[in-house]
Amino acid sequence: MYRVWLRPRLWAGLASTRPASSGAAEPFLSGSSGAYVEQMYEAWTQNPSSVHKSWDAFFRNASAGAVPGQAYSPPPPLTHSPSSPSPRVTEGSTHQSMTNITEHLNVQALIRAYQIRGHNIANLDPLGINDADLDDSMPPELIANEGLDMDKEFTLPKTTMIGGGEKALPLREIISRLRTIYCGSVGVEFMFINDRQKCDWIRQRFEPPGVFQMTDEEKKILLARLIRSTRFEEYLAAKWPSEKRFGLEGCEVMIPAMKEIIDHSTVRGVESYVIGMPHRGRLNVLANVARTPLERIFHEFNPMLDPQDEGMGDVKYHLGTTNTVLNHFSEREITVSLVANPSHLEAVDPVVQGKTRATQFRRNDESGKTCMSILLHGDAAFAGQGVVYETFHLSDLPDYTTHGTVHMVVNNQIGFTTDPRVARSSPYCTDVAKVVSAPIFHVNADDPEAVLHVCRVATEWRATFGKDVVIDLVCYRRHGHNEMDEPSLTQPLMYKQIKKHEKLVEMYARKLVEGNVVTQEDYEKEKNKYDQICKDAYERAPKIVPFHRDWLDSPWKGLHTYIHTYIHTYIHTYIHTYIHTYI
C-alpha cells in the first residue's frame, strides 16, 4: 500500500500502521493520510525545522526505533530550544505530565472556590457565636485534595493577584493567603457579577499583599473618631439614663466608617451628601457626621419642652438636618443633609434617591460627581421591607439613577427580638442587592481597620463605575431594641456573651498602645478632651431658644420670597390672560 521509506528503521516503526496490523498503531497514518505523511517526511529529511514540532518529534522517535503506537508525542514546550533534540516521551513521563496538569487545575479551582465562597467561612461575628450566612458547614470546594503536596510550588493563574510580584507559591502559602484575604475579618461577595473587568478590579483591591495596611497617622485619626462615637453615647446614657435614644453601642465603628466614605468622596469632587437612615445611631450621626451643635441635641432631651415645641417627645431620633461644614481631610466645604425618617425604617430610601437626583439635576451633574447618596439600613429591615428591592431597581434607570449609592447595613444579627434564622430565607440579609450586581462587602465591625479599607474600596467603586455597593457591618446591639428593653428575656445566650464583650474602643486603643502608635496617656487625653466638649455643650443647652423648623433637612433660603414672586408673576398673569381671552 505504501512505498518503503528511505530509512528502514523508520519504516519498521510504521509497518504496523497498515490496515492489516493487529498491534498498536499510529491511527492517523491509515487511508489517504499516507501520502501526506510521506510529504512531511521528505520535507523533514531536507530540513527538520521546515515541519511542525509535532512532526519533528514523531519522525525523530520513529527513526530512534519507538515501538508501534508510541512514535507520536506532544510538541515540546515553548521554552524548549529548537536546536536541541525533542525528548523521547515514555508512558511514565506522559502519566507524570497528566498528573502535573491535573494538580495545577485543582489549585486553580481551589483559588476560584475561595473567591466565590470564602465569605461563607469568614470570621464576621464579633461575638463568635453566629455564622453571618446562617450556615456553620464547611463548603467542600474549599478543602484541598488530599493527594496534593502542600509544599509543592504552583504557578499562579492570571485570575488571582495573591502573589504580588511572585509568579509561583507553595500550595501551603497559597491557601494561607486566600484564607487571610477571603476568610478573615472581611467576606467579599463579587463573583456573581457578570463582568470580568469589575471582578478583576475588586481582586486588585483585596488580594495583593499589604493592601489593608494603614499609616500610624490614619490609625490615630481612627482611634479619635472611635472615642467620639463611644463617649457621645456614654455621655447621653449618664445624663439621661431613663431616656430612649436608640444608641449605637455595639457598632460604634459606623461613625468612622461614614466619615471615611465622606472624606474619600470629597477628594474626588463630591460636595453634597444626602443621607437616609433609621433611628438607631441617628443622634450620633447628627453629632459626629452632620456636626449638629451638641447643645441643640442636648436641648431636645429637656423635659420642660412644650408639646408644640419641635424636638420634644421621640422626634429627636427621627428628624434630620442640613449643615454646611468644613471637611478637614480635603479642606473643602461640603453640605451634609440627613433626611427625616418615620418609624417605617426603609421609607426614607426613595426619598433620599429623589432628593439626590434633584440636587444633581439642579447642579447640571449628569454623572453624580458632585452629589451622592448614602443609605444606612438595619439588617432585618433590609431583608424584610419591599421598598428596598423597589429602590434598588431604580438605581440603573436613566431617569432615576443617582449614579451609585453606598449602602451600609448595621447588622445587629437580630431584628427587634427575632433571630435571623426565623426571619429570612436567604443566607445573608444583603442578598437583595444582587439583583443589580452590587458587590457586597461583609466585615467584622470589631476590626476597624478592615472596616475602613472596605469603605475606601466602596467609595472608589462608586466613583469608578457609578453603581451601587453594599457594606455589611456585622456587629451586635449592646442594649435591647431601645434602652428600656431587657433583651436577655428573648436572647439569653447572645446577651450573656455581650455583657462580657469588651468595647471596641478599648480593644483598639490597647492594640495601638502595644504597637507603640499611641501611649496610654494619649488615649486618656483624647477621651478627656471630648468629655469636656460634651460638658461645655450641656451647660449651653438650657440657653437654647425654642426652635422651629430647625430640623428641616432641606431649609430653602428665600422660600417665602420665591412663593410670593411665583404667585404674583405666574398666577396673576394666567388669570389676567384668561379673563381677557375668554370673558
The pLDDT confidence band at residue 86, using thresholds 50, 70 and 90, is low
The pLDDT confidence band at residue 74, using thresholds 50, 70 and 90, is low
Which one is predicted more confidently, 302 or 503? 503
Structure-block grid coordinates of residue 484: 428600656
Q: Cβ(384)–Cβ(583) under 8 Å?
A: no
Which one is predicted more confidently, 82 or 241? 241
Instruction: Tell me what pLDDT residue 1 has.
Output: 38
| Mean pLDDT, rounded, of the chain | 85
Instruction: Tell me what pLDDT residue 156 has.
Output: 94
CA dihedral 140, 146, 149, 155 (to 10 degrees): -30
What is the bridge-based pairing of β-strands 168-170 and 153-155?
Answer: antiparallel
Cβ-proximal residues to 306 (8 Å cutoff; 6+ apart), any chain: 312, 546
Instruction: Tell me what pLDDT residue 413 has.
Output: 92
Structure-block grid coordinates of residue 61: 522517535
| DSSP labels, 121-139 | G----TTSS--TTS--SPP
Instruction: Tell me what pLDDT residue 12 has.
Output: 47
Instruction: Tell me what pLDDT residue 486 has.
Output: 86
Continuous segment of H or E residues that includes residue 288 = helix 282-288
Q: Which residue, chain included where needed, has cell 456614654?
A: 234
Which one is predicted more confidently, 393 or 46? 393
- What letter does residue 471 receive in the DSSP assignment? E
Instruction: Tell me what pLDDT residue 527 has.
Output: 97
Q: How far is CA 460 from CA 196, 202, 409, in A?
A: 17, 10, 18
Structure-block grid coordinates of residue 498: 455581650
Instruction: Tell me what pLDDT residue 20 has.
Output: 39
Average pLDDT over residues 175-197: 96
Cβ-proximal residues to 494 (8 Å cutoff; 6+ apart), any chain: 127, 129, 413, 414, 476, 487
Average pLDDT over residues 75-88: 52
Which one is predicted more confidently, 39 or 70? 39
Residue 160 has pLDDT above 60, yes or no: yes
Structure-block grid coordinates of residue 176: 494561607
| pTM of structure | 0.80
Least confident piece of the model among 116-120, 172-176, 339-343 = 339-343
pLDDT tens profile 233-263: 999 999 998 888 888 999 999 999 999 999 9
pLDDT tens profile 311-328: 455 567 778 889 999 999
Q: Cβ(373)–Cβ(223) under 8 Å?
A: no
Instruction: Tell me what pLDDT residue 335 has.
Output: 94
The pLDDT confidence band at residue 557, using thresholds 50, 70 and 90, is low
The pLDDT confidence band at residue 6, using thresholds 50, 70 and 90, is very low
Total Cβ atoms within 10 A of residue 183: 19
pLDDT tens profile 108-159: 999 999 999 999 999 999 999 988 888 889 999 999 887 788 999 999 999 9
Look at residue 191 and give its three-state secondary structure.
Answer: coil
pLDDT tens profile 469-484: 999 999 999 988 887 8
Average pLDDT over residues 360-387: 94
Extended strands (E) in 422-521: 440-444, 469-474
Instruction: Tell me what pLDDT residue 36 has.
Output: 63
Identify the top-confidence range among 3-17, 138-152, 348-362, 411-425. 348-362
Cβ-proximal residues to 206 (8 Å cutoff; 6+ apart), any chain: 181, 182, 186, 188, 457
Q: Which residue, chain included where needed, has cell 472608589?
A: 460
- Taking the C-alpha atoms of residue 311 and residue 302, their distance in angstroms, rounded to an integer, is 9
The closest alpha carbon to 119, from 139, 147, 149, belongs to 139
Position 435: which residue type?
Answer: V
Instruction: Tell me what pLDDT residue 348 has.
Output: 94
- Taking the C-alpha atoms of residue 434 and residue 345, their distance in angstroms, rounded to an integer, is 21
383 burial type by CB count under 10 A (0-12 exposed, 13-18 middle, 19+ buried): buried
The pLDDT confidence band at residue 22, using thresholds 50, 70 and 90, is very low
